[in-house]
Amino acid sequence: MNDAFDETVKSCAFINGPAVKEFEEQFANYLGAEHALGVSSGTDALLAIFMSLGLEPGDEVLVTPFTFVASASSIVRAGLKPVFVDIDENSFHPSAEQYARAVGPKTKAILLVHLFGIPNDMDAITALCSDRNLLLVEDCAQSLGTEWNGQKVGTFGDVSAFSFFPAKNLGCFGDGGAIVTNNAELASTIRTVRSHGAPTKYNTQMVGGNFRLDTLQAAILKVLLPALPQWLTKRQENAAYYLKHLRPTATLSLPESIEGHSWNQFTLLSNRRDELKQHLDENGIGNAVYYPLPLHKQPLFMDEMLVLPNVEKLCNHALSIPIYPGLTEQEREFIVQTINSFEEQR
| Closest chain position to ligand PLP (CB) | 42
Residue among 252 and 321 whose Cβ is closer to ligand PLP = 321
DSSP string, 299-332: GGG--TT---HHHHHHHHHEEEE---TT--HHHH
State the nearest-atom distance from the C-beta of 163 to ligand PLP, in Å.
Answer: 3
Query: Is the sign of the CA dihedral 247, 253, 259, 261 positive or negative?
Result: negative
Residue among 43 and 107 whose Cβ is closer to ligand PLP = 43
State the nearest-atom distance from the C-beta of 254 to ligand PLP, in Å.
Answer: 22
Q: Are strands 252-253 and 266-270 parallel, antiparallel or unpaired?
A: antiparallel
State the nearest-atom distance from the C-beta of 105 to ligand PLP, in Å.
Answer: 27
Q: What is the largest CA-CA distance in the chain?
A: 69
Residue among 241 and 266 whose Cβ is closer to ligand PLP = 266
Q: Which of 52, 325, 11 has the alpha carbon at shortest distance from 168?
A: 325
Residue among 157 and 252 whose Cβ is closer to ligand PLP = 157
- For 67, 110, 207, the CA distances from 261, given in Å and listed in that order, are 17, 21, 37
State the nearest-atom distance from the C-beta of 332 to ligand PLP, in Å.
Answer: 24
Q: Which residues bind ligand PLP (CB under 6 A)?
A: 41-43, 67-68, 70-71, 113, 139, 141-142, 163, 165, 175, 177
State the nearest-atom distance from the C-beta of 258 to ligand PLP, in Å.
Answer: 17
Q: Are strands 35-39 and 60-63 parallel, antiparallel or unpaired?
A: unpaired
In whole angstroms, give the CA distance from residue 218 to residue 330: 34
Residue among 71 and 155 whose Cβ is closer to ligand PLP = 71
